[in-house]
């Protein structure tokens, strides 16, 4: 089957390729499995800035104070996603917004779960393997979890070490309050070095960039990123709701003061707080001075990871780097 997939992906006609891949994978599913895949949300979801989101699980027990998934109705308990790897591939091929191959749609794992949670990691590995075998799309995960060397080896086999990995570090001083159920940030930083030693191209993910982050802490995070073996730093926006504001305020992050937002006016909606230009420029300066790559988008880290892995003809899907304000 792998040889057949390789032959298919050698054709440059995107419409023909997608149609033929779909025919090939449909033949391997039972009628009920095919029906479930066709009706799954992955078959209809539109891509967002970082790509089309892949859900290896639903829900997260970490309950970080700034996390938005609970306001979206997701649980504090995690459940591995029900689709098999082949069903996920089929669902994606039914999606009119999706295009396969490494020049196609970027795929971002997580969004509404932590992809390396012990109960979710097997599903993440299954999905990565299926995507590698049938589709070849660039994949990315963002994580706070710490996995052992055996799991890193499995990850390398599932993705040919081409997976873009963002290790989240938002704070070194307030993690006890804001991320109390997540692994210690220094353990996450230690993971970065082990990922790099296995051939991955890890980046530190400063998302969300918290309001009021002191210059000294920015310096420390960048210093630790360099020491850990990270290739660079990616910054990201803070997504706020009224309940997130109240949680952050209760943990000492004065969102109202720094961002001048009124939680009562948000009602049930979200607002994305863009990274402060001064803070972004400061992080960029510190990162570049340390010889690190600085990026403003998660998808850019996926592109850079492909380039660092030897794919010099990779195509960036968003071209956000052309916009100085992005």
Return per-residue pLDDT of the chain as tens, 326 residues. Answer: 555 555 565 556 778 899 999 999 999 999 999 999 999 999 999 998 778 999 999 999 999 999 999 999 999 999 999 999 999 999 999 999 999 998 899 999 988 999 999 999 999 999 999 999 999 999 999 999 999 999 999 999 999 999 999 999 999 999 999 999 999 999 999 999 999 999 999 999 999 999 999 999 999 999 999 999 999 999 999 999 999 999 999 999 998 888 877 777 776 678 888 888 899 999 999 999 999 999 999 999 999 999 998 888 777 766 565 555 54
Tokens of 40: 């799954």
Backbone phi and psi for residue 42, each to the nearest 5 degrees, phi listed first = -60, -20
Axis crossing angle, helix 185-197 with helix 215-228, rounded to the nearest 10: 30
Rounded to whole angstroms, how far apart are CA atoms 174 and 286? 21
Distance CA 105, CA 52 (A): 7
Check: CB of residue 54 under 8 Å from CB of residue 127: yes
Supply the CATH classification number for the domain 144-237+274-311: 3.80.30.10
Residue extents of the structural domains in the chain:
1-61+75-137, 144-237+274-311
């Amino acid at each position: 089957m792998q040889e057949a997939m390789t032959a298919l992906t050698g054709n440059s006609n995107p419409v023909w390729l997608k149609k033929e891949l779909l025919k090939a994978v449909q033949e391997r599913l039972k009628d009920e499995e095919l029906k479930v895949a066709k009706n799954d949300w992955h078959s209809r979801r539109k891509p967002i800035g970082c790509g089309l989101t892949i859900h290896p699980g639903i829900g997260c027990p970490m309950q970080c104070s700034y996390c938005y998934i609970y306001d979206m109705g997701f649980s504090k308990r995690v459940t591995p996603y029900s689709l098999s790897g082949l069903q996920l591939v089929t669902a994606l091929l039914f999606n009119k917004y999706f295009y396969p191959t490494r020049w196609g749609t970027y795929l971002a794992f997580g969004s509404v779960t932590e992809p390396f949670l012990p109960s979710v990691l097997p599903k993440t590995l299954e999905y990565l393997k299926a995507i590698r075998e049938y589709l070849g799309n660039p994949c990315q995960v963002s994580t706070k979890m710490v996995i052992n060397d055996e799991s890193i080896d499995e990850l390398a086999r599932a993705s040919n070490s081409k997976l873009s990995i963002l290790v989240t570090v938002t704070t070194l001083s307030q993690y006890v309050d804001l991320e109390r159920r997540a692994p210690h940030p220094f353990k996450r930083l230690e993971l970065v070095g082990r990922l790099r030693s296995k051939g991955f191209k890890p980046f530190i993910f400063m998302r969300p960039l918290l309001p009021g982050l002191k210059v000294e802490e920015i310096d420390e995070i960048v210093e630790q990123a360099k020491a850990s073996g990270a290739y660079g730093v990616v910054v990201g926006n803070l997504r706020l709701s009224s309940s997130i504001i109240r949680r952050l305020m209760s943990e000492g992050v004065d969102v109202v003061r720094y961002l001048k937002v009124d939680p009562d006016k948000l009602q049930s909606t979200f607002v994305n707080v863009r990274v402060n230009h001064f803070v972004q420029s400061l992080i960029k300066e510190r990162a570049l001075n340390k010889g690190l790559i600085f990026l403003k988008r998660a998808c850019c880290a996926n592109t850079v990871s492909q380039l660092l892995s030897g794919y010099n003809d990779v195509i960036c899907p968003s071209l956000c780097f052309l916009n100085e304000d992005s």
